[in-house]
Amino acid sequence: MAKITLDNLAHSYLPKPESEDDFALKELNHDWQDGEAYALLGSSGCGKSTLLNIISGLLRPSHGRVLFDGQDVTDAPTAERNIAQVFQFPVVYDTMTVRANLAFPLKNRGMPADEIARRVQKVGAMIGMEAELDRKARGLTADAKQKISLGRGMVREDVNALLFDEPLTVIDPHMKWELRTQLKKLHHDFGHTMIYVTHDQTEALTFADKVVVMYDGRVVQIGTPQELFERPAHTFVGYFIGSPGMNVFDADIEGNAARINNVRVPLPAVYPFGSGHMQIGVRPEFVRLAEGGEGVPARVLRIEDVGRHKIVRLDAAGQEVNATLPEGAPVPAGADRIVFDPAGINVYENAWRIAPEGRREAA
């Protein structure tokens, strides 16, 4: 088990990258703490698989270094890094039995037979496949195969990290929950460093201690699920996490207030004047409906009842706005204004969140 450090890491698939756009992964410095469970979250093509493959050594970064516990492994082949990886589609050796599949990585490392047998038995129990150990892997269901892939990683007890590349994509929904719970338990019991790539926010938020959000080849925010929810560092994070995502308005910032469509909106603190494109972001949970008086004029388009709460879709001067109301809370009949809870407002300049004056926060 190890701490993984990414030092000035960047990667381009082009032989001679010229502009920043040529980089699939833009420059990045980060420490993955030993024993934590991380989720790497982002939409398809944002560079998360590239990052994962660089860590596992399947891809050599075009720039920067990868360190395991302070030791440079940038040029070390996958085998030397001692990591395990589970892929999107289950990889099993079809012609082998489940037992032989699980023993394969140990056999290749020349481990004595009795030790192999002991560990295979243990892992077989862990993934709940003891009964099928002597079956051919061919013809098993997708989730059974994925469990074997996982088992092949777990069987090496000393791995530096366990990497998951969207491992539950091909698994039935009801099995997803079970496998994810199992993964959490494994993490809890064995304390491996785990990095879990996914584009599913529910998966990321329920699995990880820390979520790393990526967008367009760049890490935009690293934080706990709560941080991502309350203080999205980038409008993408606000939009990507939460359902529905954060409402973003173009605004003029005037100290402790913002102006949207010529309506004054109070801010929780005093913000510096920015020269870039200024916006404010408000999660639907912090939008309230009102009738007349203060607030931004808006028209109710429709109301969706999704069980635990209601989503109200509104139109504010041509822009769609979402508000969520707790179940049971009535929608005011003549609602024509929206009011924001100041505590739930974040201010953005050129899509990046800016901190209010006189306060220091971690990004």
Partner 1 sequence: MTDTTAAPGAASIPGDVTAERNRATTARRFRPNGSAIVMGLYLLFLMLPIYWLLNMSLKTNAEILGTFSLWPRDVTFENYVTILTDASWYMGYVNSLIYVVLNTVISLAVALPAAYAFSRYSFVGDKHLFFWLLTNRMAPPAVFALPFFQLYSSVGLFDTHIAVALAHCLFNVPLAVWILEGFMRGVPKEIDETAYIDGYSFGRFFVRIFMPLISSGIGVAAFFCFMFSWVELLLSRTLTSVDAKPIAATMTRTVGAAGIDWGVLAAAGVLTIIPGALVIYFVRNYIAKGFALGRV
Partner 2 sequence: MNKTVNQKAWFLVLPVLVLVAFSAIIPLMTVVNYSVQDTFGNNVFFWNGIRWFEDMLNSERMWNALGRQAVFSAIILAIEVPLGVFVALNMPKKGFWASFCLVVMSLPLLIPWNVVGTIWQIFGRVDIGLLGYTLDAIGINYNYTQGYFAAWTTVIVMDVWHWTSLVALLAYAGLQSIPDAYYQAAKIDQASRWAVFRYIELPKMMGVLMIAILLRFMDSFMIYTEPFVVTGGGPGNATTFLSIDLVKMALGQFDLGPAAAFSIMYFLVILAISWVFYTVMTNLDKRDVR
List of residues contacting partner 2 (CB under 8 A): 53, 56-58, 77-79, 83-85, 87-89, 91, 93-96, 104-105, 108-109, 138-139, 149, 152-153
The DSSP code for 356 is P
Q: Could you tell which of partner 2, partner 1, none binds residue 16, using a CB distance below 5 to 8 A set by kind?
A: partner 1
53 binds partner 1 (CB under 8 A): no
Token pair listed for 186: 């494994």
The DSSP code for 343 is G
> How far is the C-alpha of 202 from the C-alpha of 87, rounded, in Å?
19
| Contact pattern for partner 1 over residues 1 through 20, marking x by CB under 8 A | -------x-x-x--xxx--x
Q: Could you tell which of partner 1, partner 2, none binds residue 33, using a CB distance below 5 to 8 A set by kind?
A: none
The DSSP code for 331 is P
- Exactly one of 4, 24, 28, 161 binds partner 1 (CB under 8 A); that residue is 28
- Exactly one of 63, 65, 122, 313 binds partner 1 (CB under 8 A); that residue is 63
Token pair listed for 62: 């075009």
- Exactly one of 98, 106, 211, 233 binds partner 1 (CB under 8 A); that residue is 233
Closest separation in Å from C-beta 162 to partner 2? 11
In this structure, are residues 353 and 347 in contact, taking their beta carbons and an 8 Å threshold? yes
231 binds partner 1 (CB under 8 A): no
> How far is the C-alpha of 222 from the C-alpha of 343, rounded, in Å?
21
In this structure, are residues 4 and 54 in contact, taking their beta carbons and an 8 Å threshold? no
Q: Which stretch binds partner 1 (CB under 8 A): 112-120, 166-174, 246-254, 346-354?
A: 346-354
Q: Could you tell which of partner 2, partner 1, none binds residue 50, using a CB distance below 5 to 8 A set by kind?
A: none
Cβ density class 131-157: b for 16+ within 10 Å, e for less: ebbeebbeebeebbbbbbbbbbbbbbe
Q: Could you tell which of partner 2, partner 1, none binds residue 219, using a CB distance below 5 to 8 A set by kind?
A: partner 1
Q: Could you tell which of partner 2, partner 1, none binds residue 141, using a CB distance below 5 to 8 A set by kind?
A: none
Nearer to partner 2, 139 or 328 (CB): 139
Number of residues that bind partner 1 (CB under 8 A): 32
- Exactly one of 7, 178, 209, 349 binds partner 1 (CB under 8 A); that residue is 349
Token pair listed for 312: 């109200």
> How far is the C-alpha of 291 from the C-alpha of 345, rounded, in Å?
21
Closest by CA position to 277, among listed 354, 338, 204: 354
> How far is the C-alpha of 79 from the C-alpha of 326, rounded, in Å?
52
Nearer to partner 2, 57 or 223 (CB): 57
Asked whether the bond before 90 is cis by omega within 30 degrees of 0, the reply is no
Token pair listed for 309: 């709460």
65 binds partner 1 (CB under 8 A): no
Three-state DSSP class for residue 265 = strand
Nearer to partner 1, 254 or 304 (CB): 254
Closest separation in Å from C-beta 162 to partner 1? 24
Nearer to partner 2, 109 or 277 (CB): 109
Q: What angle do CA 179, 167, 76 make, to 5 degrees?
A: 125
358 binds partner 1 (CB under 8 A): no
Closest separation in Å from C-beta 254 to partner 1? 16
Residue 248 falls in which region: left (phi positive, over 0), alpha (psi -120 to 50) or beta: beta
356 binds partner 1 (CB under 8 A): no
Number of other residues whose CB lies within 10 A of the CB of residue 92: 22
> Could you tell me what percentage of the chain is helix, strand and coil, using 3-state DSSP and rounding each to the nearest 5?
30, 35, 40
> How far is the C-alpha of 233 from the C-alpha of 219, rounded, in Å?
10
Q: Could you tell which of partner 1, partner 2, none binds residue 79, using a CB distance below 5 to 8 A set by kind?
A: partner 2
Closest separation in Å from C-beta 170 to partner 2? 12
Nearer to partner 1, 85 or 279 (CB): 279
- Site of interaction with partner 1 (CB under 8 A): 8, 10, 12, 15-17, 20, 23, 26-30, 62-63, 217-222, 233-234, 272, 274, 276, 349-350, 352, 354-355, 363
